[in-house]
Amino acid sequence: MSTSTQPAIRVRGVEKSFGDLHVLRGVYLDVAPGSIFALLGSNGAGKTTMVRILSTLLAPDAGTAVVNGFDVTTAPRDVRESISLTGQFAAVDEILSGRENLVLVARLRHLDDPGAIADDLLARFSLTDAGSRRVSTYSGGMRRRLDIAMSLVGHPTVLFLDEPTTGLDPEARQEVWQVIQGLARQGTTVLLTTQYLEEAEQLADRIAILHQGRIIANGTLAELKALLPPATVEYVEKQPTLEEIFLALVGTRATTDSQKDPS
């Protein structure tokens, strides 16, 4: 992880509504360069909306968001040149081979020697042997690895992964986890959204819980565990799991909100 004191991503008071639906209600977070930051939340919590704002696909209604020193509202082109985004489903062309997919992206980005770029990424993601095969023959884990490889064409310094292991089996999920960990070791800043609490527990340097449009907890796994008292059984201390922390915090907040709003 980088030792830079400047955050790769800084979000201050971001709000976003769609008509009467208030999705983000003032989000604050910092992401250190070269780290893996997990944004946890239930369906509808606002995770994808936050990623779309950070990747300049949506404009915030209020607040500021800065990526690599560039404001997403006033300098969207500079932001886009230094990031990449991988959505919930692999955006690969199944008719093309894995290598052809990578070459196509490199050509679209007007990079020199697209073939060499493709070969390097195939090797980096352990796809060399499958590089000449049509993507329609790939397993789910291989498609996702290729999708992430495609997002790295051009060496973006920040990578947004929106629920990167959705629909994958446990073995394929492990493959993708290894890829993400390798990216962080090489200095890429990774912000991932996930509903899989084990995923955040295994990967993230820091974890934030987004609930009803606000960050209700933000810290390392150890810091989040400290929010709940350990249970003891026959003098054996049991640390709370991230799932227990998440459910306790979300449940507490939901109860408090319902008491404030009797409707």
Please give the mean pLDDT across all residues of the chain.
Answer: 88
- Residue 164 is assigned to a structural domain of this protein: no
Domain annotation covers residue 124: yes
CB atoms within 10 A of CB 91: 14
Q: What's the length of the chain?
A: 263
More confident residue, 247 or 184: 184
What mean pLDDT is predicted for residues 8-12? 98
Check if the beta carbon of residue 14 is closer than 8 Å to that of residue 63.
yes
pLDDT score of 161 more than 80: yes
Share of the chain above pLDDT 90, in %: 61
Q: How confident is the model at residue 123 (pLDDT cuts 50, 70, 90)?
A: very high
- DSSP letters, 182-203, are HHHHTT-EEEEEES-HHHHHHH
pLDDT at 167: 79
Residue 110 lies in a domain: yes
- Which amino acid, 88? Q
pLDDT at 257: 53
Domain coverage including residue 117:
87-155
- Per-residue confidence (pLDDT) for residue 1, from 0 to 100: 46
- Read off the pLDDT of each residue in 61-86 and give the average, rounded to a whole number: 96
- Domain annotation covers residue 192: no
The answer to whether position 149 is within a domain reads yes
For residue 238, what are the β-bridge partners?
Answer: 231
Determine the Cα angle at 203 with ends 185 and 29, to 5°: 90
Cβ contacts of 88-94, under 8 Å, gap ≥ 24: 88/48, 88/162, 88/163, 88/164, 88/166, 89/166, 89/167, 90/143, 90/144, 90/146, 90/147, 91/147, 91/150, 92/135, 92/143, 92/146, 92/147, 92/150, 93/135, 94/134, 94/135, 94/136
In-domain check, residue 37: no
Q: Which of 128, 193, 126, 131 is nearest to 159 (CA)?
A: 193
- Count structural domains, the chain: 1
What integer pLDDT is reported at residue 4 of this predicted model? Answer: 53
Residue 224 lies in a domain: no
Given a cut of 60, whether residue 30 has pLDDT beyond it is yes
**Could you give the CA distance from residue 64 to residue 91 in angstroms, rounded to a whole number?**
29
Residue 103 lies in a domain: yes
Residue 3 has pLDDT above 50, yes or no: no
